[in-house]
Structure 1
Amino acid sequence: MRPVRSLILYMALLLSANAAAATDIAALEALRDGDMKKLSFHAEPQPASTAEFQLADDAGTATLADFRGKVILLNFWATWCAPCRKEMPALQALQTELGGDRFQVLTLATGRNSPDGIRKFFAEIGVTDLPRHQDPKQAVAREMGVLGLPVSVLIDAEGNEIARLIGDADWNSDSAKEIIRRLTGDMAD
């Protein structure tokens, strides 16, 4: 009889965990306003890419797993992308205000983007506080089903994709900041 009780208890815990996750998603969705209404939360977390990408300044390679423990806003972009140019200062402002031990904006130039072209792009728009990482063969973008640019993906601290926004957005908005604060446990006062 004991194994049956254990199974029942396990199933009850599993169902309550799924209900809590659904409630969390509903609470996060309720925070969406303005551009953040384009942010689509997944019913279940999705695995993020395991492909390697190039770190800025020839510092080697990394994978998204190297960033586990932090909530990541992964932004796929390119130097030729006009909406990316518009969005990048808001991403920098979000990183400047909320970046740290629990959150990071991770920018990933996808496709053919030379390091010099990326530096020039950042200099032209005044971005100094974002990484210049590259996905030259689009391995990460391909594994994550990125078909256009820009695309921003929220990755939880466990390394799973939990939401996606297609197109540019004001990531420096109160709505975006509140969503990030909730995900990192940093509630606004």
Structure 2
Amino acid sequence: MLVTAAYIAAGFGANGAAAQDISEDLLTGYMRALVVHEVPVDASAAPYLVTEETQGALADYAGDYVVLNFWATWCAPCREEMPSLQTLQQTLGGEDFNVVTLATGRNPPQAIRRFFEEEGITDLPQYRDINQQIAREMGVFGLPITVILNPDGQEIARLRGDADWSSPEAIAVIETLLDNNS
């Protein structure tokens, strides 16, 4: 019982930092729809496909903040949003931050390549969650959904629907997280 209480107290302490980093003042414009969790939630440990023959996992990004976007080739709002995710990666991506795109459901590799070519996406990964295992484990219903993972691989915020991730509001949210992590 004492161990459980200590675990819960530690969780609230860690949580306070994540919630405090993304203050209500930052939740304007497109980021008004960003829901910041009071307690970080572990992300899925299930593998995704990098190519036809190799796998990766979200744990590969341990130590980095990650904007994880669940999308599909047939999703019109995803098509609108994807260029702004690329701009976010080009603007802030690097050692401490990455934008990760994860096509969930039936998205053949050739359809993903065509989607990226048509939208001019060159700087984002073409990962696939073909059995929707990651999406199911993370409670993703509907697309697009974007989650922010902390360096411990925990979800700290979620946005349902599309957003302009290259907007000043989105950049401010990510910069604040990065500044408070250094």
Specify which of 100, 106, 126 is matched with residue 112 of structure 1. 106
Question: Which consecutive segments of 4 or more residues in structure 1 shift more than 4 A?
Answer: 13-16
Query: For 1:130-180, what per-residue CA distance to the aligned partner results, in whole angstroms no more than 9, with x for missing partners?
Result: 100000000100000001000000000011000000000000011111111
How far 1:20 sits from its partner (Å)? 4.6
Q: Aligned to 1:158, which of 136, 152, 157?
A: 152
Residue of structure 2 equivalent to 1:17? 13
Equivalent runs, 1:160-175 vs 2, <5 Å: 160-175=154-169
Q: Which residue of 2 aligns with 1:70?
A: 64
Superposition TM-score, scaled by structure 2 size: 0.88
What residue is the counterpart of 1:44 in the other structure? 39
**Aligned-pair RMSD on alpha carbons?**
2.3
**Separation in structure 1 between the aligned mates of residue 132 and residue 30 of structure 2, nearest angstrom:** 26
- Contact 2:45–2:58 (Cα < 8 Å) also in 1: yes
Alpha-carbon distance in structure 2 between the residues aligned to 1:132 and 1:67: 15
Task: Evaluate the alpha carbon distance shift between residue 30 and residue 120 of structure 1 in structure 2; reply closer, same or farther with a 3 A threshold.
Answer: same
Residues in 1 aligned to 2:123 and 2:11: alpha-carbon distance in whole angstroms: 42
Residues in 1 aligned to 2:172 and 2:18: alpha-carbon distance in whole angstroms: 18
Runs of at least 5 residues in structure 1 that lack an aligned partner in the other structure: 1-9
CA distance 1:125–1:40, shift in 2 (3 Å): same
Q: How far is 1:58 from its partner? A: 3.4
Question: How many angstroms does 1:21 deviate by?
Answer: 2.4
- Is 1:132–2:114 an aligned residue pair? no
* Identical-residue share of aligned pairs (%): 49
| Paired residue secondary structure (1:185) | helix
Distance 2:18 2:162 in 1: 27
Are positions 1:96 and 2:86 aligned together? no
Q: TM-score by structure 1 length? A: 0.85
> Deviation per CA, 1:58-79, whole angstroms, max 9, x where unpaired?
3611111111100000000000
Paired residues in the alignment total 175
Describe the SS at the equivalent of 2:177.
Answer: helix
CA contact (8 A) 2:31 2:170 kept: yes
Q: Distance in 2 between matches of 1:22 and 1:168?
A: 23
Aligned amino acid, residue 156 of structure 1: N
Would the aligned equivalents of 1:29 and 1:41 in 2 still touch at CA under 8 Å?
no
Partner SS state of residue 134, structure 2? helix
| 1:50-65 matched pairs, under 5 angstroms | 50-55=45-50, 57-58=51-52, 60-65=54-59
Relative to structure 1, the CA distance from residue 146 to residue 20 in structure 2 (aligned partners, 3 Å threshold; closer, same or farther) is: closer
